[in-house]
Amino acid sequence: MSSLLNLTRDECAQRSSDLEVDTYRISLDLSALNDPNTTTFRSQTKVDFTATTSSTWLDLVADKVTAVTINGASAEVKYNGARVQLDGLAKGPNSVVVTAQCIYSHTGEGLHRFTDPVDGKTYAYTHFEPTDARRVYACFEQPDLKGKITFEVAAPKDVGVFSNQSVASEDGGVTVFNPTLPLSTYLSALAVGPYHVVNDKYEEIPLAAICRQSMKQYLESEEIFRVTKQGLAFFNKAFGYPYPWGKYDSIFLPEYNIGAMEHPGLVTFNENAYIFRGAATVAQRESRAEVILHEMTHMWFGDLVTPKWWDGTWLKESFADLMGYLVANEAAGYEGPWISFGLGRKQGAYTMDVRPTTHPIAADVPDLEAARQNFDSITYNKGAATLKQLMAYAGRDAFFAASQRYFKRLAFGTATLDDLIASLKETSTADLSEWVSSWLHTTGPSIITTVREGGKLYVETVSKDVLTGKDVARNHRVKVSTFARGKKGVERTASVSVLLDKPRVEIPLPEGTVVDLAIANDDDLTYALLRFDDASVDVLVDQLSTVQPTLARAVAWSALWNMVRDAKLPAARFLDAVVNNAPTETDSVLLNLILSLAYTAVSAYLNPSLRDAAGARFVAALAAGLSASTPGSDLQRSWANAVAGYGSLSKSSVHTLRETLDGEMTKLELTPTLRWGILRTLASLSAATDAELEAEYAKDKTMTGATALVRARASFPGAENKKRVWGELTGDDKITNDRQGALLAGFSAGPDADREAFITPYFDGLTSWWSAKSMTMATRLVNGAFPSTSVDDGKVGSNKVELLAQGWLDSNAEAPRALRRIIIERLDDTRRVLRAQA
């Protein structure tokens, strides 16, 4: 990130003490939206505010600023590419108007424009979090300076214009919206284009589901509205503060950089992730419901009450993450959200929280560069897991009662950690004196180990701060369950709820309880790594699919996987568990997750010398699972998706891939997504031709099909093909975000040897990429092109990638912190993988 674009906490705190924002009126001229030769648009912002200082600045990233007026008088334009300096302000009310030419984006930042190849229709939409509203209009770009925002948009004829609020007037191609309630600038939103709209209503709240015209046949508006209505009913009651934002639109967008975003009144979603072109699995539909409800939580946590600064990001994201899973289960009627949370979502936190770049949930965020880095698995995933433990520790009723007080006191304002904890202390009898410091201000997961000794069962807990190495006194309220081998598999023998408030706690089991296996976090109530002894591992490897209920299996799988990552269990042993148990797994959500982990175990954590045999064994298991599954079932689709996704591990998968693609699997709908998945895997195995890919694209001439074609072509093996892909990734400044993602995915496919020539150029190019590209595009390139460890047989201390990464860090101590953080993390991952391979 350019230093000009950075904003510090201290300077923003000073600006907040100097100003109080009243209103924004933003006039945008997008009338030339459909002209591809027009690269900029006119933006005029009128902001009214009260000041106690004579000088401040507005944030703006524009092609040029053409005029500034202060309190009706023309002022000298003082613009440095990121800030418009304002001098001569009145101490009191002020009105400033800034006119600029801003730039259409092709990378998903600011105002993103795209043209649909299906019908040639052009669309645009905004994405601003955390600080890209300034790419569209001049503003005070910090969360605690809220204002009432009115958009006024000139657009081409016969297009829809959408924003946070309903339309106030339309005249001569200019749409004026009603002003918002007080809102942070990053939460303002706009979409313009010939979108397809379906309308509905929940009580007095207008609802809409919106997508581009060529996707309308796939828009499952009925299901989207069902989940939306159930969520609104749940939150209105649970939070005791009725939805305040007027309408509730859900719009699905292509080329979207993230999963979704919580703009009140106009929630945006990633089309590729949440509009399904054909049959979808239960896991996919459940994931969409969870994301809908995650964003809906933000209407309260984040939008109604906003963190004062980005060090409070967890005050919105952790709550939204938790509530998304909880409400998808309790209100939307899905059975698997806690499975996805425990074995899927939490893995990101466990991975991040042992790296040297981890941070506390309540992090220190001195500037915007640090803020952008902290939209991560600690803030989201670990934060949500910690709040789930807090609900168990302080009580669910107290948790929601505290939320109600929090919203009532701070509606349309901003908050800090102290505000939330003050409300919780009023509603809960639990001792929270140490909870905040031990959970929110420390790093690293606790390690919980079950120990059988002298006929008794103990649970030992070790909590150390990863960054300081110091012991942490962190209590856990958990359910410990015991199991024994039986005639029908592994059967539960006891369950005990306990508070782990000492390093070693004896579990009070009923007399005579048989313990062949003990799971110390059975309901997944807490955030901790579990450790099993060898005898317990034997039980799980042999018969894990018989453990009941499904959540207990998910917790056990999570523990086994983290033992692999921590080099406590060989990856080959984990593959044994998958091959033994996946064929009899009855839960499709859990099956999807364990097959994904098995792929990673073989492709990364297994020693390269063992991968060919293990890959053949795994794809044989996938073929058998697909063949044995009931035609038309969700399990069959899960197996088919796994064959398409993981068949690249062995050429022995080609027969099954071809058989599936030819439609011999009866009653299995071959969706475009599944067909492209199979073809790109065949391409990576040199078992498909370019003509075959072209023929597939001729049947699927969509934006999604075009991107899939790019990825499949990039997946062909061979050093020359990878050289072509590398050249486009590193040299084309016009590349779109979606095309970049497809090229990166294809580049990483196929033999590692094909990419060995690009290892040194990767490290040579890091600093130039970072300075030349937007932060989003540079981050994706640096992460996506990081070399594989399997370029030689080196171990920790001698691997080529490890040595080059460490050498780059040693030679680039002054490189941007965000760039160094990525390399530090990938180096740590490399060493972790090498230890596991050994």
pLDDT-based confidence at residue 473 (cuts at 50, 70, 90)? very high
For 720-766, the pLDDT digits (tens) are 999 999 999 999 888 999 999 999 999 999 999 999 999 999 999 99
pLDDT at 26 (0 to 100): 98
Please return the burial class of 615, using the count of CB atoms within 10 Å of its CB with bins 0-12, 13-18 and 19+.
buried
Residue 250 domain flag: no
Residue with tokens 């807990």: 461
Instruction: Give the residue-averaged pLDDT of 242-267.
Output: 97
User: How many angstroms separate the CA atoms of 196 and 224, rounded?
Assistant: 15
User: How many angstroms separate the CA atoms of 722 and 716, rounded?
Assistant: 8
- DSSP string covering 630-668, please? PTTSHHHHHHHHHHHHHGGG-GGGHHHHHHHHTT-STT-
Average pLDDT of the chain, as a whole number: 96
Ramachandran assignment for 828, one of left (phi > 0), alpha (psi -120 to 50 degrees), beta (any other) = alpha
Its domain, for residue 763, covers 751-838
Instruction: Give the residue-averaged pLDDT of 277-290.
Output: 95
Share of residues in the chain with pLDDT > 70 (%): 99
User: How many angstroms separate the CA atoms of 248 and 30, rounded?
Assistant: 24
For 56-81, the pLDDT digits (tens) are 999 999 999 999 999 999 999 999 99
User: How many angstroms separate the CA atoms of 394 and 390, rounded?
Assistant: 6
Please return the burial class of 724, using the count of CB atoms within 10 Å of its CB with bins 0-12, 13-18 and 19+.
middle
Residue 2 clears pLDDT 80, i.e. is over it: no
Q: Going along 503-610, which residue ranges are E strands?
A: 504-506, 517-519, 528-531
Report which of 483, 379, 475 is spatially closest to residue 431, judged by C-alpha positions: 475
Report which of 263, 305, 320, 309 is spatially closest to residue 411, judged by C-alpha positions: 305
pLDDT at 127 (0 to 100): 98
User: How many angstroms separate the CA atoms of 386 and 382, rounded?
Assistant: 6
Tokens for 46, please give them: 């009128």
At 544, the amino acid letter reads: L
Ramachandran assignment for 512, one of left (phi > 0), alpha (psi -120 to 50 degrees), beta (any other) = left
pLDDT at 663 (0 to 100): 82
Instruction: Give the residue-averaged pLDDT of 588-608.
Output: 96
Cα three-residue angle 659-664-666, rounded to 5 degrees: 140
User: How many angstroms separate the CA atoms of 45 and 337, rounded?
Assistant: 43
Structure letter (DSSP) for residue 788: P
Cα three-residue angle 662-664-668, rounded to 5 degrees: 95
Classify 498 as helix, strand or coil. Answer: strand
User: How many angstroms separate the CA atoms of 484 and 817, rounded?
Assistant: 51
Q: Which region among 271-280, 402-411, 659-668, 716-725 has the lowest average model confidence (pLDDT)?
A: 659-668
Residue 665 clears pLDDT 70, i.e. is over it: no
Instruction: Give the residue-averaged pLDDT of 630-647.
Output: 95
Q: Is 295 a catalytic residue?
A: yes
Task: Decide which of 194, 220, 239 is a domain's last residue.
Answer: 194
Structure letter (DSSP) for residue 314: H
Q: Going along 662-736, which residue ranges are E strands?
A: none
C-beta of residue 524 within 8 angstroms of C-beta of residue 487: no
pLDDT at 90 (0 to 100): 98
Instruction: Give the residue-averaged pLDDT of 240-255.
Output: 97
Residue 361 domain flag: no
Which CATH number does the domain housing residue 57 bear?
2.60.40.1730
Q: How many domains does the chain have?
A: 2
Residue 2's Cα: distance from chain center in Å? 25
Residue 570 domain flag: no
Which member of 109, 152, 290, 295 is catalytic?
295
pLDDT at 792 (0 to 100): 72
For 767-792, the pLDDT digits (tens) are 999 999 988 999 999 999 999 988 77
Q: Which residues contact 552 (CB under 8 A, 6 or more apart)?
A: 481, 492, 519, 522
Tell me which long-range contacts 66-70 makes (C-beta under 8 A, separation of at least 24).
66/99, 66/100, 66/101, 67/97, 67/98, 67/99, 68/96, 68/97, 68/98, 68/99, 69/96, 69/97, 70/94, 70/95, 70/96
pLDDT-based confidence at residue 667 (cuts at 50, 70, 90)? confident
Give me the half-sphere count of Cα atoms (radius 13 Å) on the Cβ side of residue 362: 19
Residue 465 domain flag: no
Residue 217 clears pLDDT 90, i.e. is over it: yes
Task: Decide which of 176, 194, 212 is a domain's last residue.
Answer: 194
Q: Residue 746 — φ and ψ, nearest 5°?
A: -70, -35
At 125, the amino acid letter reads: Y
The bridge status of strand 456-462 relative to strand 504-506 is: antiparallel
For 499-541, the pLDDT digits (tens) are 999 999 999 999 999 999 999 999 999 999 999 989 999 999 9
C-beta of residue 92 within 8 angstroms of C-beta of residue 54: no
Tokens for 673, please give them: 């997504």
Question: What is the 3-class SS of 384-441, one letter each residue?
Answer: HHHHHHHHHHHCHHHHHHHHHHHHHHHCCEEECHHHHHHHHHHHCCCCCCCHHHHHHC
Give the chain's count of helices (H) and strands (E): 28, 28
pLDDT at 262 (0 to 100): 98
Instruction: Give the residue-averaged pLDDT of 483-498.
Output: 95
Please list the residues that pair with 491 across neighbouring strands.
484
Please list the residues that pair with 201 across neighbouring strands.
206
User: How many angstroms separate the CA atoms of 671 and 654, rounded?
Assistant: 19
User: How many angstroms separate the CA atoms of 121 and 107, rounded?
Assistant: 19
Give me the half-sphere count of Cα atoms (radius 13 Å) on the Cβ side of residue 351: 17
- DSSP string covering 122-157, please? EEEEEE-TTT-GGGTS-B--STTS-BEEEEEEE--T
Please list the residues that pair with 196 across neighbouring strands.
211
Residue 171 domain flag: yes
User: How many angstroms separate the CA atoms of 381 and 370, rounded?
Assistant: 18
Residues counted in the chain: 838
Residue 396's Cα: distance from chain center in Å? 26
Report which of 27, 305, 20 is spatially closest to residue 151, judged by C-alpha positions: 27
Residue 167 domain flag: yes
User: How many angstroms separate the CA atoms of 592 and 590, rounded?
Assistant: 5
Please list the residues that pair with 377 across neighbouring strands.
none
For 399-450, the pLDDT digits (tens) are 999 999 999 999 999 999 999 999 999 999 988 888 999 999 999 999 999 9
Residue 720 domain flag: no
Task: Decide which of 167, 194, 221 is a domain's last residue.
Answer: 194
- DSSP string covering 341-397, please? IIIIIHHHHHHHTTSTT---SS----BHHHHHHTSSTIIIIIHHHHHHHHHHHH-HH
List Cα–Cα distances, 300 to 316, 347, 497, in angstroms: 9, 27, 32
User: How many angstroms separate the CA atoms of 563 and 530, rounded?
Assistant: 8
pLDDT at 666 (0 to 100): 64
Q: Which region among 390-394, 552-556, 720-724 has the lowest average model confidence (pLDDT)?
A: 390-394
pLDDT at 1 (0 to 100): 46
Residue 635 domain flag: no
Q: Which region among 99-113, 221-235, 650-664 has the lowest average model confidence (pLDDT)?
A: 650-664
